Amino acid sequence: MKTPLRVHICVVGYELDRISQAAIDQKADKVVLITQKENDSGRDYFIENRRRIIDKGIEVQEEFVDDIRDLPHLLRIIKKVIDNEHKENSIFINISSGSTLSAIAGTISSMMFEKERKIIPYYVKPKAYKQDIDEETGLKPQTEGIEDIKKILTFQMQLPSKELMIVLKYLKE
């Protein structure tokens, strides 16, 4: 039997440590980086995070969305990644790495599919918020360092039963 992998899903925003260092610290076996296909103002952060992760010998998978602000598309991409992973693998979703909308997509995904899979959303608390350019990369990440990584509690979401839908339809009429 193959050893289960620790797969991290991260929507890339203007962050470095909260993406790459968090995955490295949590001993990720594979990191899925999600970014916008074209006109991505965060492309350099995507490239730098990918480099840092690969340099540590961790597999990187890239996924692209047409618009990073399109919640249904983010949900579809995250679901596709989850569906393509072996059932034994643990899925971790970094909800601190992108926008508020990507955090919502990650949280909803973890609640919708946790019955089928082991999915753990987490939030990376930075050591500091910064405003200067990083000397090493020339980028200006919003935060620096990692103070703590917190697992986020979720609650299972499920669709109403067919019987309940029939009653609701009847009440509506």
pLDDT of residue 153: 82
pLDDT of residue 37: 85
| Residue 168, token pair as written in the block | 């609701």
pTM, to two decimals: 0.84
| Residue 173, token pair as written in the block | 């009429």
| Residue 94, token pair as written in the block | 């970094």
C-beta of residue 33 within 8 angstroms of C-beta of residue 60? yes
Mean pLDDT by 10 residues, the chain (173 residues): 87 93 96 89 90 97 91 93 92 92 90 80 91 78 90 78 90 89
Distance (Å) of CA 103 to CA 90, 112, 122, 172: 19, 14, 10, 34
Closest alpha carbon to 56 in 103, 20, 97: 20
pLDDT of residue 134: 72
The dihedrals phi and psi of 137, each to the nearest 5 degrees, come to -105, -20
* Rg (the chain; Cα; Å): 18
pLDDT of residue 17: 94
Sheet-wide strand order for 90-94: 59-65, 30-36, 6-11, 90-94, 119-125, 148-151
| Residue 67, token pair as written in the block | 């618009």
Q: Which domains does the chain have, with CATH numbers?
A: 6-172 (3.40.50.10770)
